[in-house]
Amino acid sequence: MKSRLISLALFLAPLAAKALDLTPAASFRDLEGFKIPIVLFSDAGKKIAFQPPAKWRISGGGDALSLYPAELPDAVMQLRVRPTKPPEPGVTEDVEKWCRTQLPQDAAKPALEGEVENVFTIGPRPSRQFTYSYASQGRRFTTSVAIVEWNARERLAVIVTARAADFKTTHEAAMRSMFSWNEQ
The pLDDT of residue 18: 53
Contacts of 81 (CB under 8 A, 6+ apart): 18, 20, 21, 22, 63, 64, 150, 154, 155, 156, 157
Q: Check: CB of residue 157 under 8 Å from CB of residue 146.
A: yes
pLDDT along the chain (184 residues), means of 10: 42 54 94 91 94 96 97 96 88 93 95 96 94 96 97 96 97 96 90
Structural domains of the chain ordered from first start: 17-183 (3.40.1000.10)
Claim: this prediction has a pTM higher than 0.85: yes
Tell me the HSE value of 171 on the side-chain side, using a 13 A CA sphere: 21
The pLDDT of residue 155: 97
Contacts of 65 (CB under 8 A, 6+ apart): 22, 24, 58, 59, 78, 79, 80
